[in-house]
Amino acid sequence: MSASLSLRTVDKIYHPRGRSAVHAVKALSMDVERGEIVALLGSSGCGKTSTLRMVAGFEAVSAGEISLANRRIERLAPAARNVAMAFEGYSLYPPLTVRENIAFALKRGRLSASEVSRRVQEVAALVEIEPILDRYPNAISGGQQQRASLARALVRDAALYVLDEPMGQLEPQLRAVLRGRLKRLLKDRAMTSIFVTHDQTEANALADRIAVMEGGVLQQFAPQHVLKEKPANLYVATFIGEPPMNVFDASVVRDAGRTTFELDNGPSFGFGDNELAPEVRQAIGNRRKVVIGVRPHRVALGNGSAETARVISNQWLGDQSHIAMAVAGKLLVAVSHARVRAAIGESVPYGVRAQDLHIFDSDTTVALAHGARAA
Amino acid sequence: MAQIEIRNLHKTFKDDPVLKGLSLSVERGEIVTLFGPSGTGKTVLLRLLAGIYPPDAGTISLRGRDASGSPPDKRGIGMAFQNFALFPHMTARENIASALTARKTNAGEISRKVEAVAQLLKIGHVLGHSPRELSNGQKQRTALARALVADPDILLLDDPLRNVDAKLRYEMRLELPALLKRVGSTVLYVTQDFKEAMALGDRVAVLLDGQIAQCDTPARIYAEPVNVGVARLFGDPTLNLIGVAPQLVDGAPEIRLGGSRIRLPAGYSTAAGGRYLLGLRPETLRLVEAPAPGTVAVELVAVTPLNEKSVLLLTMQGGEELLASEAGDRDEPRRTGPAHVAIDRDALLLFERESGRRFIPAENGEVAHERIAITSHR
């Protein structure tokens, strides 16, 4: 597959000559393949929306190149980029009905009236706005406006679909249904798409690959399971996952065929050389300090575990128990898909297996090892 | 004696009846989460309790005394609402302390209490900021701190974690119950997130169609919802609902599902002949290799990750869709194609098609007959 959208060392600096210059996006390079769905994920201020706005043409790049279907677009006006978009600020035309707004997006396509009508109907059914097609934008709710705006983007034939928090204002139930339909539509028609979200569930459900951004820098760009199993650094590890990874500062002690991670003000986890793979030991090298992590779903609870910890909370969510324990002055969260009957204040046995251990450099925060493999 | 006792409350705005005979009681020291779809009147209920506007009909008793006619400031209720309502000219610290200065607490005591609550809510580092320098999540926690710092015996919280980012929100979800228990307040907590409702509440009150449809422990709400409306609000993904018509076959209740016959537990005998919705929670469905009694032939269409689960989209014969969810990681990813799904008979739910009420199976077949016999003799 060939890259459809390509960003090369793109920078965005707001107020570059002012005293309060903000470097919102830093040397961002990434490729989106044809027909691929990509999510830009991060907390507010991470640079994801600035990136999307540069792709759409609402912001100029401060440096770097953006190409779409082998054509440089970073200097083109939004309308000249062959990009369909749904943005929060890119509102519907108030004097037109919802139906006219959606149909208007097809105007330049020289389609027959019946074809336009068929397409509008089809996309309206997809996002469930058929009953409000003849209403005016200011007479419908924020959630309905958002869906109308999404429909207006999806109805077009474009080289790229750019969506800004496409379902941010919708109710959870509707959101779940729309995600499935939207993914099917985008995949069936091989619509190359890039969207911004702060919601991992949304990113996981829709995207083929997820670009995690923080501080204007692309942290990792990979499919969901890779972000989960092999997070590139501590930021990704503690951002991805619900709940996120438990992490602790630890001192490394090597002693007669055994590696022990001593948590600051907490317990120690020791592993024999038969447990901790050689390449993992090699990745740790001579480091005296590391950060170790374990995903909540991988914390082993119950008898046979070496350590005990006091239960701070135990919450049953119908199909899973979330148990928070006091470990090394922090919370260690364990998730079990069976119901765990542990009272608050009770001590419960728990352990961490070598195969579930993630190890990070304590200075650079870059991953050193995941389970039995070096990073 | 209940600390909050709401009886038959009605409230209509213009021609829109929001609360239609709502009743709810909350015991002293209890945390009840108030949960329902948006626009069902959760916030309206809190405002009636706070005395911000009066009910059209019905009574509210606080601490055993009728509160009607008592103005908001005389009700002794701590509140944190969605529109933070912080004083813009004061710092976060002063905003929080404002709940105490009105009571003439001494300065050292005030400062100590403000620091302690700010620490718990992780806003200790922004106490010197003014509201416009705070993020929405920080504003929300400042408002929450202001409500908590006065140790109110009744506390009304309107979605206080709504704008807090996911990670912090999760931490707060773990820590807030213990914090509230320490304060000892009786709490009514509004949320739009079913996980938050289940995690925080001693009981969850589900507000549907202007009334409390069910108020129960989280585990019972999930496992024994009173009706299909309540059942649909809990679970991620939400439960599968399929129209079925149970029949007695050789004296045992049975349904047809995607071309297979599924025998129900004997307690469902009296459902035979009626029209029902079968409710199957995705996590109770298990994909198996070979057909067996209690399995349905399906096509595995797609596998999508949802947090730490995998959601399997299945279609049965006739095209009807089912969602199943699997916990944990598999060594090899599932391949799409023909498969069989096993139905857990002990976890299934049955709802009356017309009323939506859950059919409550008899403990076993014989008991069901006994009950019928007793009724007919009366």
B116 C-beta neighbours (distance < 10 Å), count: 14
Residues 68-87 of B with CB under 8 A from A: none
- Report the chain B residue with the minimal C-alpha distance to residue A321: B199
Q: Over pLDDT 70: what percentage of chain B?
A: 94
Chain B hits for A172, Cβ within 8 Å: 192-193
Task: Name A285's Cβ contacts closer than 8 Å, sequence gap at least 6.
Answer: none
pTM: 0.84
From chain A, the residues in CB contact with B174 under 8 A are 312-313, 315, 322, 324, 331, 333
d(CA A268, CA A277): 19
Domain ranges of chain B: 4-229, 240-377
* pLDDT 10s digits, B95-107: 999 988 767 678 8
Closest Cβ opposite residue A204 in set B178, B193, B306: B306
Residue B345 has pLDDT above 50, yes or no: yes
Cα A150–chain centre separation: 20
Confidence at residue A89, expressed as pLDDT on a 0 to 100 scale: 63
Check A312 against B232: CB less than 8 A apart: no
B160-171 pLDDT per residue, tens: 887 777 888 898
From residue B26, alpha-carbon distances to B18, B47, B85, B208 in Å are: 21, 16, 26, 18
- Whether B304 sits inside 8 A of A315 (CB atoms) is no
Distance from CA of A242 to the nearest CA of B (A): 6
- Mean pLDDT of all residues belonging to chain B: 88
Are the C-beta atoms of residues A224 and A210 closer than 8 Å to each other? yes
The minimal CB distance from B307 to the residues A173, A201, A333 is found for A201
* Residue A242 to residue B166, Cβ atoms within 8 A: yes
Q: What is the pLDDT of residues B218-260, one digit of tens each?
A: 999 999 999 999 999 999 888 999 999 999 999 999 999 998 9
Helix ranges, B104-202 (H): 107-120, 136-149, 166-183, 194-200
> What CA dihedral angle connects B231, B192, A203 and A76, to 10 degrees?
130
> Which residue has better confidence, B205 or A111?
B205
User: Out of 3.30.9.10, 3.40.50.300, 1.10.1060.10, 3.10.105.10, which CATH number does the structure's domain B4-229 have?
Assistant: 3.40.50.300
> Which among A196, A205, A191 has a CA at the least distance from the CA of A168?
A196
Q: Nearest Cβ partner of B165 from A43, A224, A241? A: A43
Using a CB–CB cutoff of 8 Å, tell me whether B289 touches chain A. no
CB-CB under 8 Å, B238 with A318? no
Between B374 and A140, the more confident residue is A140
Pick among B31, B119, B138, B167 to test the A interface (most A CBs inside 10 A): B167
* Chain B residues within an 8 Å CB radius of A319: 235, 281, 283, 325, 327
Judge: A318–B38 Cβ closer than 8 Å, yes or no: no
- pLDDT attached to residue B375: 34
Question: By the 8 A CB rule, do B32 and B49 touch?
Answer: no
Chain A residues in contact with B236 (beta carbon < 8 A): 176
Class of the CATH-defined domain B240-377: mainly beta
Least reliable range by pLDDT among A222-226, A364-368, B73-77, B239-243: B73-77
As a whole number of angstroms, the distance between CA B70 and CA A275 comes to 68
B-chain CB neighbours of A176 within 8 Å are 236-238
Q: Which of A171-175, A280-284, A312-316, B48-52 has the lowest mean pLDDT?
A: A171-175
- B284-330 pLDDT, tens digit per residue, is 999 998 999 999 999 998 887 777 788 898 999 988 889 999 987 67
Residues of B in contact with A238 (CB under 8 A): 167
Put simply, the chain B residues between 238 and 267 with a CB less than 8 A from any chain A CB are: 238
pLDDT digits (tens, 9 = 90+) for A7-60: 999 999 998 888 788 899 999 999 999 999 999 999 878 999 999 999 999 999
Nearest-by-Cβ selection for B305 from A225, A239, A333 = A225
Q: How confident is the model at residue A143 (pLDDT cuts 50, 70, 90)?
A: confident
From the list B233, B261, B228, B226, the residue with the least C-alpha distance to B247 is B261
Q: Match 């914090």 to its residue by tokens.
A: B179
Query: Average pLDDT, stretch A109-119?
Result: 88
Cβ-Cβ contacts under 8 Å, B170 against chain A: 242-244
Under 8 Å between Cβ of B356 and B227 = yes
Can you give the C-alpha Rg of chain A in angstroms?
Answer: 25
Domains parsed from chain A with CATH numbers = 1-82+196-229 (3.40.50.300), 246-374 (2.40.50.140)
The mean pLDDT of chain A is 92
B173 touches chain A (CB under 8 A): yes
Q: Phi/psi class of residue A190: alpha, beta or left (left: φ > 0; alpha: ψ in -120 to 50)? A: left
